[in-house]
């Protein structure tokens, strides 16, 4: 297995993720379900400053999101990230996309993320009317439905608006990125040495908490693992498996956070309390029941529970961050499974706390 580190491309990922930091509020648990007690205070202080400087662009950023998903986050993954050297490369690549390419990506995004199949102009002359009817009957919020129709009607115009928005974001991004660039480079060298020595234990242990065993097995079979290291979204983690390689998006504080969290769990009852807090939420409890029965589509969950897709996305994010469900990166669409070990440990801990044999 070969490990590759793409620092220029890492900068692109941090840039695309950057506007989301405008939504940061320390009291907002849904921002990441992070335990601030064991985080680096420098990170949260930086996020607070970023949110303040981005406050004037916060509402505009909401234009490019659907049910908690960012259409342009996903668009980034459609490019060969290894070939993108910086944020200018990314914006030029987005700008160069044709109307057909943008429409095809939107259709794929809706199918994979929101389980919606929208007709295209090639397949139906009345595709906008048909799309309107499909969206009207969906569980999406009204504002999301209009955003999607706007893109379907004129994807190039909305694309140009996004590029112009990111151009305004760039100076703020540069200001903060220069503070973490050296740390990213140093962390890359350290992680590269660790992995080259054959020590993959901490990385695999962390992933076992959030992704399926099958996904980790696929990762082990990858000929190459490409690392994209994030210094601003430094507590983010994601992976995407391909036929012969895997992309890992890793915040530079994630592994240290996981190590600290493991120690914290060993001396605290907060972990099992977190499980029961999730179970105490009626909607979240019903989501878990449906996932246990095999349903994990945002659309299906929303329809069965009579709530919006945005609400389901919120609950899925919370359940994933709190490790009550695990994500399957191998499936074409988002897939989730109950984290049985986590549940059993919480119940066993409760019985022990109450001295029930």
pLDDT score at 250? 92
**How many residues comprise the chain?**
357
Q: With 70 as the cut, is the pLDDT of residue 313 above it?
A: yes
- Asked whether 272 and 346 are in contact (CB, 8 A), the reply is yes
pLDDT score at 251? 93
Percent of the chain whose pLDDT exceeds 70: 87
Q: With 70 as the cut, is the pLDDT of residue 303 above it?
A: yes
Phi and psi of 207, rounded to 5°? -65, -35
- Per-residue burial over 132-143, b if 16 or more Cβ lie within 10 Å, else e, is bebbeebbbeee
Q: Average the pLDDT over each of 68-77, 79-88, 108-117, 205-214 and give the range with the smallest value.
A: 205-214
Q: Average the pLDDT over each of 139-148, 217-226, 286-295 and give the range with the smallest value.
A: 217-226
> Which tens digits make up the pLDDT trace of 251-262?
999 888 887 877
Other CB atoms within 10 Å distance of the CB of residue 63: 14
pLDDT score at 329? 59
**Residues forming a β-bridge with 184:** none
Q: With 80 as the cut, is the pLDDT of residue 221 above it?
A: no
What are the E-state strand segments in 192-328?
224-230, 237-241, 245-251, 325-327
| CA within 13 Å, CB half, 18 | 29
Q: Which of 15-19, 124-128, 320-324, 352-356 has the highest mean predicted lDDT (pLDDT)?
A: 15-19
Which three-class secondary structure state does DSSP give residue 55?
A: helix
Question: Could you give the CA distance from residue 206 to residue 149 in angstroms, rounded to a whole number?
Answer: 40
pLDDT score at 31? 45
Q: Average the pLDDT over each of 3-12, 24-33, 281-290, 332-341 and give the range with the smallest value.
A: 24-33
Q: With 70 as the cut, is the pLDDT of residue 215 above it?
A: no
Tokens describing residue 113 = 């993320």
More confident residue, 229 or 300: 229
pLDDT score at 299? 82
Q: Compute CA 206 distance to the chain's CA centroid, rounded to the nearest angstrom.
A: 16
- Asked whether 238 and 14 are in contact (CB, 8 A), the reply is no
Which residue bears the tokens 């499909």? 134
> Which tens digits make up the pLDDT trace of 267-289?
567 778 888 888 899 999 999 99
Kindly report the average pLDDT of the chain as a whole number: 84
More confident residue, 116 or 285: 285
Which residue bears the tokens 């115009």? 157
Q: How confident is the model over 241-246, as a mean pLDDT? A: 81
More confident residue, 217 or 347: 347
Tokens describing residue 229 = 């290291």
pLDDT score at 345? 83
pLDDT score at 30? 37
Q: Average the pLDDT over each of 52-56, 73-77, 199-203, 314-318 and give the range with the smallest value.
A: 199-203
Q: Compute CA 247 distance to the chain's CA centroid, rounded to the nearest angstrom.
A: 14
| CA within 13 Å, CB half, 30 | 11
Q: How confident is the model over 198-207, as a mean pLDDT? A: 72
Q: What is the pTM of this model?
A: 0.76
Percent of the chain whose pLDDT exceeds 90: 30
> Which tens digits make up the pLDDT trace of 55-96?
999 888 888 887 667 778 888 888 889 999 999 999 999 999
Of the candidates 111, 170, 110, 128, the one whose C-alpha atom is nearest the C-alpha of residue 119 is 128
């Amino acid at each position: 297995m070969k490990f590759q580190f793409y620092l220029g491309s890492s900068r692109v990922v941090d840039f695309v993720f950057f506007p989301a930091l405008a939504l940061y509020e320390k009291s907002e648990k849904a921002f990441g379900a992070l335990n601030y007690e064991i985080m680096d205070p420098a990170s949260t202080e930086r996020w607070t400053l970023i949110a303040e400087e981005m406050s004037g662009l916060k509402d505009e950023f909401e234009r490019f999101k659907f049910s908690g998903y960012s259409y342009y986050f996903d668009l980034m993954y459609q490019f060969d990230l290894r070939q993108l050297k910086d944020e200018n490369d990314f914006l030029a690549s987005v700008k160069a996309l044709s109307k057909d390419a943008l429409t095809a990506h939107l259709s794929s995004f809706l199918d994979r993320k929101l389980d919606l199949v929208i007709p295209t102009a090639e397949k139906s002359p009345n595709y906008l009317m048909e799309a309107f009817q499909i969206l009207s009957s969906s569980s999406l919020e009204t504002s999301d439905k209009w955003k999607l129709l706007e893109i379907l009607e004129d994807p190039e115009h909305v694309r140009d608006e996004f590029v112009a928005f990111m151009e305004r974001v760039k100076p703020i991004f540069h200001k903060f990125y220069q503070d973490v660039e050296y740390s990213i480079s140093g962390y890359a060298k350290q992680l590269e040495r660790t992995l080259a020595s054959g020590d993959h234990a901490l990385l695999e242990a962390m992933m076992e908490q959030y992704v399926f065993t099958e996904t980790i097995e696929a990762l082990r079979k990858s000929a190459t693992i490409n690392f994209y290291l994030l210094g601003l979204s430094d507590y983010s983690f994601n992976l995407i498996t391909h036929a012969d390689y895997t992309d890992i998006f890793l915040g530079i504080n994630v592994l240290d956070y996981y190590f600290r969290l493991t120690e914290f769990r060993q001396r605290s009852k907060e972990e099992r309390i977190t499980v029961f807090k999730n179970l105490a939420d009626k909607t979240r409890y019903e989501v878990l029941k449906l996932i246990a029965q095999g349903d994990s589509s945002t659309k299906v969950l929303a329809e069965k529970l009579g709530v919006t897709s945005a609400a389901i996305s919120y609950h899925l994010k919370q359940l994933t961050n709190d490790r009550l469900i695990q994500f399957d990166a191998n499936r074409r669409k988002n897939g989730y499974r109950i984290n049985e070990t986590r549940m059993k440990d919480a119940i066993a801990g409760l019985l022990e706390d109450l001295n029930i044999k």
